[in-house]
Amino acid sequence: MYPIPQPQIWLIFPLIIRALVLQRIPYRELNFTELSLLPSQSSSIDDLNQTSLSPDLDISANKPAVFCDATRYGRGLVAADCRDAITGIKRNKQRVRFGERSADPGTWDVGLPSRQIGVQGLCTVQLEFKPGRSSAIATSLDVSEAAIAVLGTCVGGTGINTGGLAIDIGGDNNLGVALVPYEPHVQCVDGSIGPPGSTIPPLISCNAIVGLMFATKDVVSFGKQGSGATNIVPGVDASPDHLCVLEIDTTGPEENVSWYDIWAAAVAVNGMCVRMGMTGKATGLGGNGNLFITMWSPSSASGGSVPLGNATLLRGATTLEVSNVLWSMA
């Protein structure tokens, strides 16, 4: 069964923004998933029956092998939210390259870890590699059908309601697709949660942040000026088009947390709030629960830039930022 799959330099935000604005960054489309639920797809949530697989979903005759495992993948999943997460996955047959997020971005289209979350934030579709592998080739249709198989087998098919994993997915059988529960601590705001003048960010821009930001499990320190922390907060990571920022801050002097946990919280805010036309905040991060993140747009309604005060910009992932790999929007 597949296992569930540095501190960097913070630079002054305005200087980086001015430098990047001078450079046109090419866009490259991805094909795995879109975090917005398209209006034309909203009815298909009801088409995914909680206890059986609908024939309208065109599941292939060779259904993947599925393993239900409460110990590794959790229990008590909310089927409706799993269906919502699955509905957000594009269903096409274009081959996509999956790779380690930390690897050369020219070698992958989707970097792992990667997940799709339901609008309630309680269920995620999570991708992982076969043990010993660090790349895979698959279509978004492969991923969607594998997730549906796990939903039907583990969440609704047997009555045991656990998370699970579909294995040997894709043309090279290197990908696994799991359904895993998540406990969000997210508040969505109908308007901007950012500084005065900020706005609701475009989903495609926030998708770029969650698709490119650090997601390592190394624990790093965040803190206020003078705390001795490696990363000084408040600080932001910005999308390549500068229309969405992920701001990191803490209510205490210093907090230790992994980038993976920050990434997971950002996925939740993006999937629960931004995709619904709101901004959002995730709290309770770190050993003491003092770290929090917000997502909003620094671009004002008039098109100008909102001052960010003493916020600084995380620029350790320069090559990933410049590659501007964005989640596709159909």
* Higher pLDDT pick, 170 / 302: 170
pLDDT at residue 49 tops 50: no
Residues 131, 167: Cα–Cα separation, whole Å: 11
Residues 317, 98: Cα–Cα separation, whole Å: 18
Contact in structure between 311 and 235 (CB atoms under 8 Å): yes
Number of residues assigned to the chain:
330
Phi, psi of 199 (to 5 degrees): -130, 180
pLDDT above 70 covers what percent of the chain?
Answer: 71
Q: How far is CA 53 from CA 58, 152, 153, 181, 290, in A?
A: 10, 6, 9, 20, 42
2 in a structural domain: no
Domain count, the chain: 2
pLDDT, averaged across the chain: 76
Task: Report which of 51, 55, 76, 70 is spatially closest to residue 151, judged by C-alpha positions.
Answer: 51
Q: Residues 49, 174: one domain?
A: yes
Q: How far is CA 227 from CA 8, 236, 237, in A?
A: 17, 18, 21
Contact in structure between 115 and 327 (CB atoms under 8 Å): no
- The amino acid at residue 33 is T
> What's the pLDDT tens digit per position in 153-168?
999 866 679 999 999 9
Q: Residues 59, 161: one domain?
A: yes
Residues 223, 310: Cα–Cα separation, whole Å: 13
Task: Report which of 76, 75, 79 is spatially closest to residue 49, judged by C-alpha positions.
Answer: 79
176 in a structural domain: yes
Q: Residues 282, 168: one domain?
A: no
Confidence of residue 192 (pLDDT cuts 50, 70, 90): confident
Res 220: pLDDT: 92
User: What domain range is 82 assigned to?
Assistant: 39-181
Q: Residues 200, 305: one domain?
A: yes
Q: Residues 173, 212: one domain?
A: no
4 in a structural domain: no
Q: Residues 125, 170: one domain?
A: yes
Q: Residues 177, 256: one domain?
A: no
Task: Report which of 233, 188, 240, 181 is spatially closest to residue 213, judged by C-alpha positions.
Answer: 240
* Higher pLDDT pick, 34 / 118: 118
* Higher pLDDT pick, 145 / 196: 145
Confidence of residue 91 (pLDDT cuts 50, 70, 90): confident
Burial of 121 (0-12, 13-18, 19+ CB in 10 A): buried
Mark which of 181, 198, 232 sits at the end of a domain.
Answer: 181
pLDDT at residue 182 tops 50: yes
Q: Residues 215, 308: one domain?
A: yes
Res 9: pLDDT: 28
Q: What is the mean pLDDT of residues 24-33?
A: 29
> What's the pLDDT tens digit per position in 288-300?
999 999 999 987 6
Task: Kindly report the number of other CB atoms within 10 A of residue 322's CB atom.
Answer: 15
Res 236: pLDDT: 86
Mark which of 181, 196, 226 sits at the end of a domain.
Answer: 181
Q: Residues 206, 169: one domain?
A: no
> What's the pLDDT tens digit per position in 127-144?
999 999 999 999 999 999
Res 325: pLDDT: 32
